[in-house]
Structure 1
Amino acid sequence: MKLTVMLSTEGTYPYFQGGVSTWCDILVRKLKTIDYVIFSVVADPFITPQFELPAHARLTQMPLWGTEEACEHLTTPFSQVYLAKKRTTSAVIKERFIPLFRELITELTVLEKNPLRLGALLFELHHYFQEYEYKESFKSELTWDVYKEMMAEACRKPGLRLPEPDIYSLIQSLGWTYRFFNILNNPIPRAHVSHSSAAAFCGIPSVLAKIANKTPLLLTEHGVYLREQYLSLSKRGLPPFLNTFLIRMVSSVVGLNYTYADQVSPVCEYNTRWETKLGVDPGKINVIYNGVDERVFQGARERAVNPPTVVTVARIDPNKDILTLIRAARLVKQQVPNVRFIIHGSVAVQDYYVECLELRDKLDLNETVIFAGHTTDMTAAYQSGDVIALSSMTEAFPYAVVEGMMTEKPVVATDVGGISEALGDTGYIVTPGSSGELADKLVLLLQNPLLRERLGKQARERALRFLTLNKVLEQHMKSYIQLALLGNGGGSAASGVSTEQLQKLHAEQAYILMSRGYYQEAAGEFRTALRLNPGAVSSPVLIGDLAECYSHLGEHDRARLELEKMKLLMKLAVVRKKHTA
């Protein structure tokens, strides 16, 4: 029996390209000894996947919008839906749903959050929706009357400080609650470990699994979800009531994820500053940097004599601040007249793309700035340039920087998120939004080939040391196994994973590492496997392979010692066999 991990996503894998989706796809494809259940929260049910899942992964889709009935995405037989509707009478709604609904709305709107209470409340609501119909409960006239009454009271309470809503804001805010918490209508997925890719609504199934089945929860944060929502709301121009309501709802869900997570793994140290301020126990935090495959993203190749070229790999999105990049291109062109800026990335926001094209036309850069669209050959994209540029206003630990470093290219990027942690002193960091700073560093590199070469080599060396795909896979595999042990009390049958199965997982990971030439890491996995079950029949074989790792590492004395252990174990096995014969 293989270890099963539920990986929950929101607006990313497997339906959209981007850094988070790339990270998900790496885990799902490369950790072949894990059975993955992908729980994907998406905007609507009609979207087409951009990634093909491997055989050891299966998909559950949870659409927030685009459905008439709350259970459309489920496989629930019509007869059960019909009977649930019949059972959801006005009396049931009044006596059973309304008390829970009142508590939910209170918890979502108060300033002082109680994540443990919210978790227990969501679990109660989940049980209610297993028997009674979701839409009938939320859209009853009684529920609407209670909601209006609660919001009117909340606006009068000095401690809540909710702005006065109009009728539109009341309808919209209740609609958000109805849509976002439809996740409670789903069955609780069964897995040995839950892994949420954000401290967001996609973490709710993991929290329910933690409460119901004691399933351990690993939370990865690429960007800080609450911070991203603040930034998004500042640009949306919502009425004050809706702005306040939504950020308080999000704050409740973020706190829920942080509280119930057994391990919080941001992709950079930068994120930990937010997490600790938001109440995450520092003892829970284990940073796991993004990494890439050095065999795919190879070092610099000989380039044909081309115009000086700056490459950017980023979707066309306001957060990537392509407008600043275009303004920097004009400044660079004044000193490097034949420069080319090539932008590889799909259009995420059409209006913003139009704005970029208009600026390019206004600055007479149609021959200089080229929008090349999405590419599947990332290595060729990076190798086509002399310098990699990233002008983002917000990032976590972007693959574009790590991939550029691994391809032996110098990087100029804005000082956001964990970019400075990735680059160290192998590239240049500039102020976000400063086209002048960005242009100055690009000109410096474009006009100095020796500096480009030196920084490019240092960048690849740093990436090989800290940011390899192998390190990502190793750290996630270890986290899964450690959490699985936590969930089953160290190997009991409670979670369905035995000590023998965990030993096998470690051994399989060791053989994968050996096949890739990572003998130090493989030796660590073999030692862990042997500690888990030293008396196993397979122990002599594992010891022999551990000895082989030591030989490859040049540690010949340790290799000989392990071989002696192997011989003794094999002799003992022969003796035992004779005595039992």
Structure 2
Amino acid sequence: MGQKLTVMLSTEGTYPFYQGGVSTWCDILVRKLSNIDYVLYSVITDPYVLPKFKIPKHALLKSMPLWGTEEPCEHLDIPFSQVYLAKKRTTPKVIQEQFIPLFTTLVEELIGLDRNPQELAQVMHALYRYFQEYEYKESFKSELTWDVYKRIVMSAPSLPAPDLYGMIQSLGWIFRFFNLLNNPVPKAHVSHSSAAAFCGIPCVLAKLEHGTPILLTEHGVYLREQYLSLAKRGLSSFLNTFLVRLISSIVTLNYAYADQVSPVCQYNTRWETRLGVEADKIKVIYNGVDDKIFLPSPSPGNAHPTVVTVARIDPNKDILTLIRSAMLVKQRIPNVKYVIHGSVAVPDYYEECVKLRDQLGLEATVIFAGHTQDMAGAYRSGDVVVLSSISEAFPYAVVEAMMTARPVVATNVGGISEALGDTGYIVTPRDAEALAEQTALLLQDAELRRTLGKAARARAMSFLTLDKVLEQHMKSYIQLSVQSDMAMRESAASVHVVDRQRIYVQQGYTLKSQGYYPEAVTQFRAAVQMLPGAASTPALLAEISECLSHMGRPDAARMELERMRMLAELYGFKIVS
């Protein structure tokens, strides 16, 4: 990879190893922002899973498996001799004097009633430094560690009394999750965490170790999702309380250390504000889709009125309510067809859905079509698109359907109402009758479908295009890198110079967003001249070129890049035209 602005994108259980909305978002971001060097730090559970997405040349993948390995260092590309010597150095005396005090503070912070993210971050950083010299497993598996852990847990305030299994299991979770502290964090100009989750830990470490600013994106609300998940797991009172406190500690840590928190909808900001995120740190960046792929098309002219759902088969998508609503619609429109495009995420739930469908006599009405590569074609094949979820953030399924000019009926969860506005119908989750009523209304009125579909496309083009998403992320990367750029620190730039460049960048983006392209060019050029060796320089040059193109001066845009090329090459930057 060239010497460009570098972003560490940290993910958890998603890109590039698993399909889904977050993975799609990551893939678009990494592929389209080709003038950024990405380091993909992927937290996964299974070390043997293969990537589902092709990694572009300007990205480097570093996977971090938490389970499935006997030795915590198996995933690290280090010689055996180094591991062996670390084990030899990790003596009982070292564990007692150096590890135990840090381990004690870590556990007390994780399970205490009060959250202190600064204290938690500092002890994690100290443990990160400790594991650079001493061995992870030797430290955790010591009898000294077990004895201390038992004492802490047994005396923890308001923590239910554990049994032996609970103590072993909970310590095992700490051992697995915090193997992240055993993994070197790469240097980057910006860290970008895709959730307020454990994948945010390497971002916090990078901030403490290298001064790297953090962008935190929230597609859902991680804490809320974990609460819902825990309610279904049937854990003991001790383990349930333990996990709630552990997850709360990690979420609070993410929020405290993020320099910018960017949820994908306004709906999520209510949780973030309640959990202590300062309002001026929150900048919503909506999901967007490629309007050149998700093109509108005339009515498909189906022989059977057709309802399309694009969603994985998962309890959160509430396919059971969708099936019940299909039965009600069929009573009014006997030849209706429901086609569900999506992979099976939870096999037991899929079997439950098939069983309900068959019990209701809908074998020929409700079709499970599986995953499709032609998403745009799937939406265009339907007369109406329906989403019956009980939990969402800002789902691509709604935005993609809008972009293809298909009318949407969806549940009022997450940011769906923000996306649809008045161009579709919103119903209460789990209300099969309301879902059926609005779906049938659209199926029986072709002119209403056409009008709403056209309005949906126009709304998506105004607010939810891929270009807008990419521009806002590039802007965020540049503004954050200005705050703490490696090149700035190396050149010992004064605080005054850094502040002035930040002002020029902000003014440039404000003017560009209002269509004042000549004035924006002036501001971006001033920012480049303040610190020509900053890692943000190539991206700012790209902004100048884009503004000149908007001004109808393509030759000037090319000349501008050529004029600046020598300056960029002087500092070792690679310019992407």
TM-score, normalised with respect to structure 1? 0.88
1:531 partnered with 2:526: yes
Distance 1:421 1:376 in 2: 27
- Contact map agreement 2:206 2:212 (CA 8 A) in 1: yes
Q: Which structure 2 segments of 5+ residues have no match?
A: 564-577
Residue 229 and residue 521 in structure 1: after superposition, are their counterparts in 2 closer, same or farther (change >3 A)? farther
- The match for 1:314 among 311, 314, 335 is 311
Where does 1:344-363 land on structure 2 (aligned, <5 Å)?
A: 344-363=341-360
Q: Match for 2:286: what amino acid?
A: Y
State whether structure 2 residue 373 is matched by structure 1 residue 371.
no
Identity among equivalent positions (%) equals 63
Structure 1 residues 76 and 547: alpha-carbon distance in aligned structure 2, compared to 1, 3 A threshold: closer
Match of 1:305 in 2: 302
Q: Could you say if the C-alpha distance between residues 122 and 412 of structure 1 is closer, same or farther in structure 2, counting changes exceeding 3 Å?
A: same
Q: Deviations over 1:483-538 (max 9, x none)?
A: 00011399453699x99xx99xx9xx99xxx9xxx994976864442231359899
Tell me by how many angstroms 1:435 deviates. Answer: 0.7
Q: 1:418 aligns with which of 408, 415, 419?
A: 415
Q: 1:450 to 1:443 in 2, by over 3 A?
A: same
Q: Is the 8 A contact 2:189 2:486 kept in 1?
A: no
Out of 81-90 and 260-269, give the one that drifted further: 81-90
Q: What is the aligned partner in structure 2 of residue 488 from structure 1?
A: 485
Q: Secondary structure at the match of 1:342?
A: strand
CA–CA distance in structure 1, aligned partners of residues 287 and 273 of structure 2: 21
**Alignment partner of 2:149 out of 147, 171, 189:** 147
3-state SS of the aligned residue for 1:5? Answer: strand
Q: Does 1:188 align with 2:185?
A: yes
- SS of residue in 1 equivalent to 2:452: helix
What does residue 558 of structure 1 align with? none
Instruction: Give runs of aligned pairs for residues 565-576 of structure 1, distance below 5 A.
Output: none
CA–CA distance in structure 1, aligned partners of residues 298 and 526 of structure 2: 45
> Matched residues in 2 for 1:415 and 1:35: separation?
38
CA drift of 1:300 comes to 2.3
Question: Are the structure 2 counterparts of residues 210 and 495 from structure 1 closer, same or farther at C-alpha, using a change threshold of 3 Å?
Answer: farther
Is 1:192–1:495's contact at 8 Å kept on the other side of the alignment? no
Determine whether 1:435 maps to 2:436.
Answer: no
Identify the match of residue 122 of structure 1 among 124, 127, 134: 124
SS of 1:533's partner is: helix
Taking the aligned partners of 1:182 and 1:544, their CA distance within structure 2 comes to 44
**What is the letter of the counterpart of residue 23 of structure 1?**
W
Structure 1: how far apart are the matches of 2:306 and 2:64? 43
The corresponding residue for 1:225 is 222
Backbone CA RMSD of aligned residues: 2.9
Is the contact between residue 517 and residue 551 of structure 2 (CA under 8 Å) also seen in structure 1?
no
Cα distance between partner residues in 2 of 1:67 and 1:216: 31
- How far, CA to CA, are the matches of 2:232 and 2:541 in structure 1? 62
| Equivalent position SS for 1:299 | coil
Taking a change above 3 Å as real, the CA distance of residues 312 and 240 of structure 1, as seen in their structure-2 partners, is same
Structure 2: how far apart are the matches of 1:142 and 1:230? 33
Contact 1:294/1:464, CA 8 A, preserved across alignment: yes
Cα distance change, pair 540–197 in 1 and its aligned pair in 2 (3 A): closer
Q: What residue is the counterpart of 1:165 in the other structure?
A: 162
Q: Which moved more, 1:536-545 or 1:169-178?
A: 536-545
Decide which of 445, 449, 453 is 1:452's aligned counterpart.
449
Letter in 2 for 1:19: G
Indicate the SS of the match to 2:146. Answer: helix
Residue 251 of structure 2, aligned match among 251, 254, 259? 254
Matched with 1:328 is 325
Report Cα offsets for 1:546-579 as digits up to 9, x if no partner.
Answer: 56533589xxxxxxxx99xx9xx9xxxxxxxxxx
Structure 2 distance, partners of 1:312, 1:451, is 19
Contact 2:299–2:383 (Cα < 8 Å) also in 1: no
Q: Which residue of 2 aligns with 1:286?
A: 283
Relative to structure 1, is the Cα distance of residues 540 and 168 closer, same or farther in structure 2, using a 3 angstrom cutoff?
closer
Cα separation, 1, equivalents of 2:375 and 2:353? 23
Q: Is the 8 A contact 1:100 1:121 kept in 2?
A: yes
Please give the alpha-carbon distance, in whole angstroms, between the structure 1 residues aligned to 2:254 and 2:47: 25
Offset of residue 149 of structure 1: 1.5
Q: 1:172 to 1:445 in 2, by over 3 A?
A: same
Distance 2:549 2:5 in 1: 27
AA matched with 2:367? I
SS at match of 1:432: coil
Residue aligning to 2:567: none
SS of alignment partner, residue 205 of structure 1? helix
- Secondary structure of 1:165's match? coil
Equivalent pair of 1:488/1:494 in contact (CA under 8 Å): no
Letter in structure 2 aligned against 1:532: A
Counterpart code for 1:72? E
Whether the 8 Å CA contact 1:218–1:263 is kept in 2: the answer is yes
Q: What TM-score does the superposition give when structure 2 sets the normalisation length?
A: 0.89
Deviations 1:321-376 (A, max 9, x none): 11111111111111011111111111111111111111111111111111111111
> Over residues 40-60 of structure 1, what are the superposed CA-to-partner deviations in whole Å (9 max), with x where a residue is unaligned?
000110111110010000100
Shift in Å, 1:124 = 0.3
**1:198-250 Cα deviation digits (max 9, x unpaired):** 00000000000001111000000000100100010011111110000001000
CA contact (8 A) 1:322 1:356 kept: yes
Q: What is the Cα deviation at residue 89 of structure 1?
A: 1.2
Q: Give the aligned residue type for 2:253.
A: L
Counterpart CA distance in 1 for 2:224 and 2:545 is: 50
**Contact 1:394 1:417 survives alignment (8 Å):** yes
The residue that corresponds to 1:398 in the other structure is 395
Amino acid at match of 1:465: S
The residue aligned with 1:179 is 176
- Give the partner amino acid of 2:528: N
Shift of 1:293: 0.6
Equivalent in the alignment of 1:559 = none
> Does structure 2 retain, via aligned residues, the 8 Å contact 1:519–1:549?
no
Per-residue CA shift, 1:227-277, capped at 9, x if unaligned? 100010011111110000001000000011100000000000000000000
Superposed displacement of residue 93, structure 1: 1.1
Residues 35-91 of structure 1 deviation map (CA, whole Å, 9 limit, x = unaligned):
000000001101111100100001000111100000011111100111111111111
Tell me, in whole angstroms, the C-alpha distance in 2 between the residues paired with 1:351 and 1:43.
Answer: 21
SS at match of 1:367: coil
- Which segments of 5 or more consecutive residues in structure 1 lack a partner in the other structure? 155-159, 554-561, 570-581
Contact 1:530 1:542 (C-alpha < 8 Å) held by counterparts: no
* Structure-2 separation of matches of 1:475 and 1:173: 40
Return the letter of the residue paired with 1:52. K
**What is the CA distance between 1:167 and its match in structure 2?**
1.0
Q: Distance in 1 between matches of 2:70 and 2:362?
A: 47
Counterpart check, 1:69 vs 2:71: yes
- C-alpha change, 1:152 and 1:340, in structure 2 (3 Å) is same
- Partner-residue secondary structure (3-state), 1:54: coil
In the alignment, which of 138, 145, 164 is matched to residue 140 of structure 2? 138
1:452 and 1:494, CA in 2 relative to 1: closer, same or farther beyond 3 A? Answer: farther
Which residue identity is paired with 2:80? F
Change (3 A) 1:120 1:357: same
